[in-house]
């Protein structure tokens, strides 16, 4: 049993999200109470070619443990080799295999959610990774199926469990759903009931109330939060507090939120990201827009956030926003 599930612990995972869950964002979520983190996915073949950009993506700090690195690919041998390389260099707490990504560039490689159409191959990839890193637990992340007519979560769950995966995260949508529509929680609940390994439920969790309800209604061993954390990383603190005390704590104030966002920006600026050219913050704009999306008046500042170059620009937007919307 993975230690973070032992003794009925109910871990909250930060979902891997490409271009958003960078090392600093993960740190912020960890400070707010996220229990388990997974890097965004990296392509096994590219890791095997030693692409330096990818090593930046999978970097993590000791504080972020338990920490998983997520890989994708369709070739069992290449996936095994990448897992071995990662284990030797980074000693992650687990290797996570992505069988859920719906992006065209991943589907074209027969990887990600494309694998849900080929459960035999999916089993071979899982087995190759498990065998390549006997000392490192391997976990798997899937969607419910390719489309509504091919819901394979149960079948695939049994396959990966049989091949030695130690946990299964299920995003309760099909590939064709993309990121919209309802998540299929009844299927997640069925798989959680059937499998022996822990099942982590994922899809549209937006509040502490959602977590309480899902914990009550399913046998999920933990939950994974994606987009809600992108716009509101404080969600982890809120859920933790609610699970412990039974009441939802007051949300952070607008000044507190800006303080965290500016601190996050400074920490990002201090890292040697290759997107960071001459200290220009242009590449962080989508992150700022995501982080402010749930604030009152976010629509009004969206345009301004799309023009940020320097930290001073961001500070000015924060100041004006606080003056307009914070009632003290
Ligand atoms: C921008 C973005 C990037 C994502 N990147 C990954 C990824 O690298 N690996 C992965 O397994 N899932 C990825 N996902 C899917 C999320 O991990 C999660 O399964 C999905 O967003 C559903 O959870 P939510 O409804 O809480 O957002 C991504 C999602 C988004 C929105």
222-268 tens-digit pLDDT: 999 999 999 999 999 999 999 999 999 999 999 999 999 999 999 99
Among the options 101, 108, 220, 327, which is catalytic? 101
- How many Å lie between the centroid of ligand 1 and the Cα of residue 85? 24
Q: d(Cα 212, Cα 195) in Å, to the nearest integer?
A: 22
* Confidence label for 184 from pLDDT (cuts 50, 70 and 90): very high
CB of 178 closer than 6 A to ligand 1? Answer: no
- Assess whether pLDDT exceeds 90 at residue 277: no
Q: How many CA atoms lie within 13 A of 163 on its CB side?
A: 27
Going by C-alpha positions, the residue among 252, 258, 240, 229 that lies closest to residue 319 is 258
Q: Which residues are CB-neighbours of 136 under 8 A, at least 6 positions away?
A: 83, 87, 91, 92, 93, 94, 95
Q: 118-127 burial, b for 16+ CB within 10 Å, e for fewer?
A: ebeebbbbbb
CB of 141 closer than 6 A to ligand 1? Answer: yes
Question: Residue 57 has what pLDDT?
Answer: 94
Question: Residue 328 has what pLDDT?
Answer: 61
Domain boundary assignment for the chain: 3-245, 254-325
- How many Å lie between the centroid of ligand 1 and the Cα of residue 254? 26
Q: 223 forms bridges with which residues in the sheet?
A: 12, 201
Q: How many CA atoms lie within 13 A of 103 on its CB side?
A: 10
Question: Residue 272 has what pLDDT?
Answer: 83
- How many Å lie between the centroid of ligand 1 and the Cα of residue 2? 23
How high does pLDDT run on average in the chain? 96
Q: d(Cα 189, Cα 194) in Å, to the nearest integer?
A: 9
Q: What is the pLDDT of residues 195-211, one digit of tens each?
A: 999 999 999 999 999 99
Q: What is the pLDDT of residues 45-87, one digit of tens each?
A: 999 999 888 999 999 999 999 999 999 999 999 999 999 999 9
Question: Residue 72 has what pLDDT?
Answer: 98
CB of 153 closer than 6 A to ligand 1? Answer: no
Query: Tokens for 22?
Result: 């960078």
Query: Tokens for 12?
Result: 């909250």
Q: What is the pLDDT of residues 139-173, one digit of tens each?
A: 999 999 999 999 999 999 999 999 999 999 999 99
- Assess whether pLDDT exceeds 70 at residue 135: yes
User: For the chain, where are the E strands, in sequence order?
Assistant: 12-14, 36-38, 42-43, 67-72, 94-99, 138-145, 168-174, 199-202, 222-225
**DSSP state, 249?**
P
Q: d(Cα 310, Cα 281) in Å, to the nearest integer?
A: 6
Read off the pLDDT of each residue in 271-291 and give the average, rounded to a whole number: 90
Q: d(Cα 170, Cα 150) in Å, to the nearest integer?
A: 15
Read off the pLDDT of each residue in 32-38 and give the average, rounded to a whole number: 98
CATH of domain 3-245: 3.20.20.70
């Amino acid at each position: 049993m993975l230690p973070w599930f032992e003794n009925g612990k109910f871990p909250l995972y930060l979902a891997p999200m490409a271009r958003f869950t960078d090392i600093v964002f993960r740190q912020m979520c960890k400070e707010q109470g996220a229990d388990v983190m997974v890097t965004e996915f990296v392509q096994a073949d590219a890791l095997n070619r030693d692409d330096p950009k990818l090593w930046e993506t999978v970097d993590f700090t000791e504080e972020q443990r338990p920490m998983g690195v997520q890989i994708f690919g369709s070739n069992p041998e290449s996936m095994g080799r990448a897992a071995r390389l990662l284990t030797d260099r980074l000693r992650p707490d687990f290797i996570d295999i992505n069988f859920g990504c719906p992006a065209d560039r991943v589907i074209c490689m027969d990887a990600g959610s494309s694998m849900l159409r080929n459960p035999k191959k999916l089993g071979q990839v899982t087995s190759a990774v498990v065998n390549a890193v006997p000392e490192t637990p391997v976990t798997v992340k899937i969607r419910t199926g390719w489309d509504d007519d091919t819901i394979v979560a149960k079948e695939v769950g049994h396959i990966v469990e049989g091949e030695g995966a130690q946990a299964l995260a299920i995003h309760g949508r099909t590939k064709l759903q993309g990121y919209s529509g309802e998540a299929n929680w009844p299927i997640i609940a069925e798989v959680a009931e059937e499998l022996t390994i822990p099942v982590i439920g994922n899809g549209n969790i937006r509040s502490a109330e959602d977590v309480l309800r899902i914990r009550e209604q399913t046998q999920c061993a933990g939950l994974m939060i994606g987009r809600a954390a992108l716009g509101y990383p404080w969600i982890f603190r809120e859920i933790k507090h609610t699970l412990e005390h039974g009441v939802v704590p007051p949300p952070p104030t607008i000044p507190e939120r800006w303080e965290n966002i500016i601190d996050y920006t400074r920490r990002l600026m201090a890292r040697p990201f290759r997107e960071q050219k001459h200290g220009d913050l242009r590449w962080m704009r989508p992150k700022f827009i995501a982080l402010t999306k749930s604030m009152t008046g976010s629509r009004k500042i969206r345009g301004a956030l799309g023009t940020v170059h320097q930290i001073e620009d961001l500070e000015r937007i924060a100041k004006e926003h606080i003056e307009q919307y914070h009632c003290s």
